[in-house]
Structure 1
Amino acid sequence: MARLLSTKKLTESQRQLVLNTSHSLVEYNAISTEVNQEVIPKKIIKNAIITSQTAAKICIKHQLKLKRVFCVGQKTARLLINAGYNVVLICTYANFLSQILVEAYRNETFDLLCSTQRLNTIPSALTSAGIDFKEHHIYSTLANYKSFSNQFDAVLFFSPSAVKSFFSVNEITPNYLVCIGETTAQSAKKFSKNISISRTTSIESCIARAIKLLQNQ
Structure 2
Amino acid sequence: MKNVRVLSTRKLAFNQKGYLLNAGIQLLEVDFITIRHKTISSDQKQLNRSLLITSQNAVKSILEQFPKSELSNKEVFCVGQKTKALLEENHINVVAWAEYAETLSELIVQNYSDREFTFFCGNLRRNTLPNALQLASIKYAEIEVYETILQPQRISTPLDGILFYSPSGVESYFNSNDYNNETLFCIGTTTANALIKRGFNKIKTAKHPTIENVIIQCIKYYK
Q: TM-score range by the shorter chain?
A: over 0.9
> Paired residue for 1:12?
14
Separation in 2 of the partners of 1:203 and 1:63? Answer: 28
> Paired residue for 2:125?
118
Contact 2:20 2:27 in 1 (8 A): yes
Shift of 1:105: 1.3
Deviations 1:86-119 (A, max 9, x none): 1100101000000111111112111110101101
Q: 203, 206, 214: which one pairs with 2:222?
A: 214
In structure 2, relative to structure 1, the CA distance for the partners of 1:39 and 1:166 (3 Å cut) is farther
Q: Per the alignment, in what secondary structure is the counterpart of residue 49 of structure 2?
A: strand
Separation in 2 of the partners of 1:139 and 1:187? Answer: 21
Separation in 2 of the partners of 1:180 and 1:37? Answer: 29
Gaps of 5+ in 2: none
Separation in 2 of the partners of 1:77 and 1:33? Answer: 19
In structure 2, relative to structure 1, the CA distance for the partners of 1:44 and 1:129 (3 Å cut) is closer
> Paired residue for 1:75?
82
Runs of 4+ with >4 A deviation: none
Shift of 1:174: 4.0
> Paired residue for 2:138?
131
Separation in 1 of the partners of 2:158 and 2:101? Answer: 33
Contact 2:62 2:145 in 1 (8 A): no
> Paired residue for 1:58?
61
RMSD of the alignment, in Å?
A: 1.4
> Paired residue for 2:196?
189
Separation in 2 of the partners of 1:82 and 1:206? Answer: 24
Separation in 1 of the partners of 2:166 and 2:118? Answer: 22
Report the TM-score, using the length of structure 2 for normalisation: 0.92
Separation in 2 of the partners of 1:30 and 1:72? Answer: 23
Say whether residues 1:198 and 2:206 are aligned partners. Answer: yes
Separation in 2 of the partners of 1:137 and 1:174? Answer: 37
Shift of 1:44: 3.7
Contact 2:38 2:61 in 1 (8 A): no
Deviations 1:30-81 (A, max 9, x none): 1111111144742243111111011111122223533110011111111101
Question: Alignment identity in percent?
Answer: 36
Contact 2:8 2:162 in 1 (8 A): yes
Separation in 2 of the partners of 1:162 and 1:48? Answer: 27
Contact 1:151 1:174 in 2 (8 A): no
> Paired residue for 1:91?
98
Gaps of 5+ in 1: none
